Amino acid sequence: MSHEELREKLLGLEGYTPELKSKYDREVHSMFEIQLPKWQRVAWSLSALLGLCFFIGFGIVVFTLPQGFPLMGRIGFMCGSLFGAVWAWLGYRIASKGKMDFKKHQGTASGLVWAMVVIMVTIDMLMASQMQDAARGNFMVLSGLVFLVMGVVFLLQYNIRQSEYSIRESLLRLEIQLADINERLNNTQANK
């Protein structure tokens, strides 16, 4: 019997009672969703307001650009406006609830920032290749790469946190299962 087969058989024997499952779900929920202090609610409200300003500001710029403005630049402003709208929605959602679900909200924020950085660096690279002054184009790409590196740092930080949460969740599951086994053993010994 292979290691994988043994693992699957052991997992198949593992039983969850509805009571144990609900206790586990409550513990996981309390571990990942926290009540935000007032200053963090204000910070997320300001973040939502800033996102709304990006949405409106970049949206106005898109519609008021001159006729000959490069297409890639126009797409960049549209992406900035879309980013602002989604960020405003995320900030409002967190601030209005007063709670932050670390699994959901941090993933959304990290993914949103990473996608925006990658899109903008790609647009910078496409625009730089069309510039007549190569030095200016190289400077534009280099500036974009600085933001890309910062985006990678935030994405790695998010992945490290997710790994930590996954380990904590697994340990919690084991802890609850051990407590359930101990309780059943005590009940069995008491009945004898």
Report how far residue 47's alpha carbon sits from residue 49's, in angstroms, rounded to the nearest whole number.
5
Residue 181 backbone zone (phi > 0: left; psi -120 to 50: alpha; other: beta): alpha
Q: What is the mean pLDDT of residues 143-157?
A: 88
Which is more confident, 191 or 154?
154
pTM beyond 0.75: the answer is no
Share of the chain above pLDDT 70, in %: 90
pLDDT value at position 20? 67
- Which residues have CB under 8 Å from 161's CB, separation 6+? 102, 106
Residue scoring higher pLDDT (103 or 157): 157
For residue 21, what pLDDT is reported? 67
Tokens at 117, concatenated: 């950085």
Whole-angstrom Cα distance, residue 39 to residue 45?
A: 10
Which position has the higher pLDDT, 116 or 11? 116
Q: Above 70 in pLDDT, residue 16? A: no
- Mean local confidence (pLDDT), 104-124: 89
CA gap 137, 135 in Å, rounded? 5
- Band of residue 78 on the pLDDT scale cut at 50, 70, 90: very high
Most confident range (mean pLDDT) of 7-16, 57-66, 159-168, 173-182 is 57-66
Of residues 17 and 143, more confidently modeled: 143
Between 124 and 181, where is the model more confident?
A: 124
